[in-house]
Amino acid sequence: MSSGFWQETRIQTWRWFLHTRRRPIVVISGLFQPLIWMTLFVLVLKDSMGPVIGMPYLDFVTPGALLFTAFNASLNAGVPLLFDRELGFLDRLRVAPLADRYSIVLSSAIHIAAITLLQCAAILLAAFAIGVRFHGGLSGALTGLAALLLVILGFTAVSLGLAFQFRRHFEMIAVVMIVALPLVFLSSAFAPLERLPEWLRGLVLLNPVTLAVEPLRLVFTDPEWTFSTPLATTWLGTPTPAACFAGLGLFTLFAGLWSRRVLRRKLA
Amino acid sequence: MGPALLSVRDARKRYGEVVALRGVALEVGAGEALALLGPNGAGKSTLIRCLTTLLLPDAGAFEIAGTDAVAAPAAARRHFGYAGQESALDKVLTGAEMLRFQAGLTHLTMHEGRERARELLRRFGLEDAAGRAVETYSGGMRRRLDLACALMHRPRVLILDEPSSGLDYEARRGLWAILAELKREGVAILLATHDFEEAETAADRCVLLARGRVVGSGAPQDLRAALGSWVLTAALAEHPRPGDRERLAELFAALPGTPIPPAPSSAEFAQAVPHASGDLSWPEVLRAEAARCGLALAALGQRQPTLQDAYLAATGAQERA
């Protein structure tokens, strides 16, 4: 990558951060949404879930809330780009002598990753304040961070790819709304896999949100965790954190390749 | 005209069944401004989008400062600046930030970018507003900032799509003064416009485009002169009798010169005519003919041809073809 590519990536990332600083409501709402969900789920499910999951529901749901935050923010990453397109600003980027137009995507991904990790840190602090503790040690923290980053990068790539497929932001928002909730609720973010019917359990395991939340929850709650610890029993087999990371890595890789292809085609 | 910095040859573009460009050719030299005039749908924006690498043409050669804009679009982008119909500005940023952003996109160093931004803010009279968010800028200020961004990397070619749309007269005059300065610096300017005064004031030459074809080109004064010496105008009196309109059309058709299509709802006829050869002026000739046919005319006169007349005559002929 040339120095020109990094310069244009840096300046575009700077622009996104200026937006965030001047319009903080987007970040604040992105922070409150998972906290509200978390509170509601704890209030409704803590008694019924306790015996099934074998731990306080708050401990169980905190990794889910982190994943929900990362997933939600990433899936909406393409919306500002669509606004740029509708307002003609994208043409400014398209006629600029950019070293590589992938800087448009990379700057957006860096911004979303940074903001989402900040939101996750805020949720962690809130959870810590009400008694949730992390048990996985430094290696667990790094593994959890890796799972979050893969989710952020994968879904940001999907979102940016979609942003170049749609012409209007409301089309994309409609699709994101249709896709987002099923992906979250057909995952183990807020309820354990064991609560699902046998036939659905395997399918849910293929969901990238589940692939990320299972190892994240393990490192969060089990001080003895390893990459080969069995996570659940499904008709697809018994997944381990290593298998989950492999699946998640593949998803992120394919999402990145797809978005790059879309970008090349649409910005040619 | 200096050496050609922008040239288009045999440009062709089709959107499905609609043909937008049918072999357009033009050149703009260093220090020259060329106005692209044409009705909506004539192909102006398509041509500009092809030139600015926003759209791939079906055929044709597009060169900017000697670089093939189709084969090497990334290299061509280094040589031109572009400001579209709408100011493509980020309203959340301040004017100074917008220029800093543009400096980064065009790979200027931090120091160069800062210096260039200061210079452009001064040149475009935006120094006092540099720290204000663009959303607080007036339409004229946004246009100037947009133009400043387009000039950040000192391009040799400037491409503008309706640069003065939405501006008041003072702001338009300010813009034209800036374009004149840029021409003196050797920048080649291509501007698509609907504004005849802009074309007359800011451009050295005009290219008239209709239905994807060049239907006329030349300096504004040459286009006017080529049309004729006078434009004869006449309008029927109120409440004309059946057939009066057709009779007046016949009288005009019998005159030498080029008809100028009226606006759809207009009752006025106009035709560019040469110098009258006899003792009578053209209005006197027409008055006599109208009297002979029993036609009542409300208005009759002649005036100097304008660029708008030349445009209407050329594009109208194409529409009729």
B216 by DSSP, 3-state: which? strand
Q: Under an 8 A CB cutoff, do A88 and B153 touch?
A: no
What percentage of chain B exceeds 70 in pLDDT? Answer: 97
Is residue B317 scored above 70 in pLDDT?
Answer: no
A96 has a chain B CB within 8 A of its CB: yes
pLDDT of residue A153: 92
> Mutation test of the interface with chain A: which of B53, B70, B85, B107, choosing the one with the most A Cβ atoms within 10 A?
B107
Q: A162 with A172: CB under 8 angstroms?
A: yes
Residues in chain B whose Cβ is within 8 Å of chain A: 52-54, 56, 74, 77-78, 80, 82, 84, 86, 88-90, 92-93, 97, 100-107, 133, 149, 153
Q: Under an 8 A CB cutoff, do A99 and B77 touch?
A: no
Q: B126 with B176: CB under 8 angstroms?
A: no
What the block records as the tokens of B286 is: 């027409």
pLDDT of residue A242: 95
List pLDDT tens digits, range B270-302. 888 888 777 788 888 888 888 888 888 888 888
Characterize A13-50 residue by residue with b for buried, 16 or more Cβ atoms within 10 angstroms of its Cβ, and e for exposed.
bbbbebbbeeeeeebeebbebbbebbeebbeebeeebe
Cα gap B231→B270, rounded to integer Å:
6
Confidence band for A143, pLDDT divided at 50, 70 and 90: very high
List pLDDT tens digits, range A221-243. 999 999 999 888 887 788 899 99
Distance in Å, alpha carbon of A26 to nearest chain B alpha carbon = 14
Q: Under an 8 A CB cutoff, do A8 and B100 touch?
A: no
Q: Under an 8 A CB cutoff, do A14 and B104 touch?
A: yes
Q: CA nearest A90 in B: which residue? A: B88
A141 has a chain B CB within 8 A of its CB: no
Confidence band for A149, pLDDT divided at 50, 70 and 90: very high
Cα gap B191→B187, rounded to integer Å:
12
Strand-pairing partners, residue B269, are B234
Confidence band for B130, pLDDT divided at 50, 70 and 90: very high
Is residue B265 scored above 70 in pLDDT?
Answer: no
**Smallest Cβ distance to A94: which of B54, B80, B103?**
B54
Distance in Å, alpha carbon of B216 to nearest chain A alpha carbon = 29
pLDDT, mean over chain A: 88
The helix-helix angle for A208-221 and A57-75 (nearest 10°) equals: 140
Q: Any idea what DSSP says for residue B19?
A: E
pTM: 0.84
Q: Which residue in A93, A7, A14 sits closest to B88, CA to CA?
A: A93
With beta carbons under 8 A apart, name residues in chain A contacting B133: 22
Confidence band for B61, pLDDT divided at 50, 70 and 90: very high
Q: What is the mean pLDDT of residues B182-198?
A: 94
**Smallest Cβ distance to A91: which of B54, B104, B105?**
B54
Confidence band for B202, pLDDT divided at 50, 70 and 90: very high
- Half-sphere exposure of residue B3: CA atoms within 13 angstroms, side-chain side: 6
Q: What is the mean pLDDT of residues B195-220?
A: 93
With beta carbons under 8 A apart, name residues in chain B contacting A7: 104, 107
Query: Mean pLDDT: which of A79-88, A146-155, B290-299 is highest?
Result: A146-155
Confidence band for A172, pLDDT divided at 50, 70 and 90: confident
Is residue A217 scored above 90 in pLDDT?
Answer: yes
With beta carbons under 8 A apart, name residues in chain B contacting A97: 74, 77-78, 105-107, 153
Query: Mean pLDDT: which of A10-24, A30-44, A114-128 is highest?
Result: A10-24
With beta carbons under 8 A apart, name residues in chain A contacting B52: 95
Is residue A164 scored above 90 in pLDDT?
Answer: no
Q: What is the mean pLDDT of residues A152-180?
A: 89
Query: Going edge to edge, which strands form the sheet with B67-68?
Result: B18-29, B4-15, B59-64, B67-68
List pLDDT tens digits, range A34-80. 788 778 777 777 777 766 677 888 888 899 989 988 998 899 899 89
Q: Under an 8 A CB cutoff, do A18 and B97 touch?
A: yes
Q: CA nearest A94 in B: which residue? A: B54
Is residue B320 scored above 70 in pLDDT?
Answer: no
Q: Under an 8 A CB cutoff, do B92 and A4 touch?
A: no
Is residue B64 scored above 60 in pLDDT?
Answer: yes
pLDDT of residue B47: 96
Cα gap B147→B103, rounded to integer Å:
13
Give the least confident one: A225-239, B74-88, B97-111.
Answer: A225-239
Is residue A131 scored above 90 in pLDDT?
Answer: no
Q: Which residues contact B75 (CB under 8 A, 6 or more apart)?
A: B67
Q: Under an 8 A CB cutoff, do A88 and B107 touch?
A: no
pLDDT of residue B107: 94
**Smallest Cβ distance to A15: which of B52, B56, B101?**
B101
Q: How many CB pairs below 8 A link A and B?
A: 68
**Length, in residues, of chain B:** 321
Q: Looking at this predicted complex, what is its ipTM? A: 0.83
pLDDT of residue B19: 94
Q: Indicate left, alpha or beta for B43 from its phi (over 0: left) and psi (-120 to 50: alpha).
A: left
pLDDT, mean over chain B: 90
A138 has a chain B CB within 8 A of its CB: no
Residue showing tokens 């879309």: A262
pLDDT of residue A263: 84
Q: Under an 8 A CB cutoff, do A11 and B80 touch?
A: no
Choice between B157 and A176, residue whose per-residue pLDDT is larger: B157
Is residue B321 scored above 60 in pLDDT?
Answer: no
